[in-house]
Each structure stands twice: as structure tokens, then as C-alpha cells.
Amino acid sequence: MKKYEHLFFDLDHTLWDFEANSNEALQELFVEHQLKEKLGVTYNEFFDTYKENNNKMWVLYRDGKIDKPTLRKRRFADTFASFELKDERFALSFDRQYMKTAPIKGKLVDGCIEILDYLKDHYHLHIITNGFADATQLKVRTSGIEPYFKLIMTSDELQVNKPHARIFVESMKRTGAGRKNSLMIGDNLQTDILGARNCGIDQVFYNPSQGEHSDTITHEVHHLKELLHLL
């Protein structure tokens, strides 16, 4: 096994359980704002529509086609509009509440703490995320994983998103890491895996759904605990 020294992790969906935390926060807000009555839909219908709109906005944000305020404005506004509620003011207020609620939910991906406890004694651990800086700080602090990491790099800070090479290069520069002794671990083939590969950095594709793909990658795992046997 190649000797790695620096491990760069994605955050959402890789360490921090975005799906579970987001779902819990949205369920609370759905009840608080009586959205079943206002929208005439079940929570699951609301969540599925939001998830589709949110993913669409994040792709546009990642590709530099929209900015952060636009993402935050449109993801809920478009969701509510799908159910004939067109109220941008309410959508922005709802987003602010969501951004205060979701990041303080502390659910982690299964095996996260166990693997971090093992890796911290053998490697320098870092995070590279396309998430917003304020939300990222809350997520790592509330979930208890902040002390494990030497660098937490957000796209907010550099105004550039993965898979752009700059965020990987700047992260290596700040940590003293090199391409040959670094490893990127993430769940997104486009942003994490191909982004790192294009910079000459080895990768671990965390693929819990075991979805099929044809991309050339360095390593693949389906559970975080598999890293125990890989590293």
C-alpha cells in the first residue's frame, strides 16, 4: 500500500449525515409552519421536491452559474412554488431557519468516529467541502469531529468549488501536503474523485449505495470502516 500522510475528507454525505440531519430539520419546520395545510401535501412529497430543487441548485453553484445568495433564495422558493405558494419573503425566512437548525443536528455517517479515532494517530486529517463556511463550522463543532482535523477548507473561503483544481492545490499548500502523499476521500465522483484525480491526487470513492460507474479511481469502499483495511 502506498504511504499516505495527508487524508482529505469531504464532509456532507461522507462524514456528516446530510440526509438524516436535513430530513430531521425540515420535518420540524414543516410542522412548525403548518406546511401540510398550506401546501396541501405530505411531508414526503415536500421533501422529495425540495431535494430535487436543492440538488439542482447545488450543481449550478458548483459550476459557478449561480452564487450563494441565489442558491439559498431559490431552493425553497422553487419548492414552495411547485405547490402554488409563491412567497419569496417566506422562502428566505424559511431558509434562514433551516440554516440555523440543520447544521446543529449531529448525526454522523455510520462508522465515522471509529475510523477517525484510528486514523488520527497515523495521518494528518483535513476536510475540503463545497459547503458554506458558517454552516460547516456548526456541523463539525456540534457533531464533535472538529478536533480531528488540522485544516477545514470551504469553497466559501476561496470562492471556488470542487472539482476546481485551486481548492485542492491551496489545501495542499496550507497543510504542506504533496500530491504523492495525499489521499482524497469523498462520496461524489464529479467533485471529490475526479477533482482530486485531475490534480494528481489518489482517491477513495465512498460509495455506500454501491452504484455502478465506469470511472477510473484509485480505491472504492462501501462503508467507512473499510478504510481500516485500506489505510
User: What residues are labeled active site?
Assistant: 10, 12
- Identify which of 36, 32, 46, 127 has the alpha carbon closest to the alpha carbon of residue 81: 46
Rg, C-alpha atoms of the chain: 18
Tell me the C-alpha distance between 132 and 69, whole Å: 11
CB 148, CB 120: distance < 8 Å: yes
Single-letter code of the amino acid located at 111? G
Q: H or E element: which one contains 88?
A: helix 88-101
Single-letter code of the amino acid located at 107? K
Reduced to 3 states (helix: H, G, I; strand: E, B; else coil), residue 94 is helix
Tell me the C-alpha distance between 227 and 72, whole Å: 34
Ramachandran category for residue 21: left, alpha or beta (phi over 0 → left; psi -120 to 50 → alpha): alpha
- Let me know the angle formed at the C-alpha of 66 by 106 and 185, rounded to the nearest 5 degrees: 45
Cell of 57: 441548485
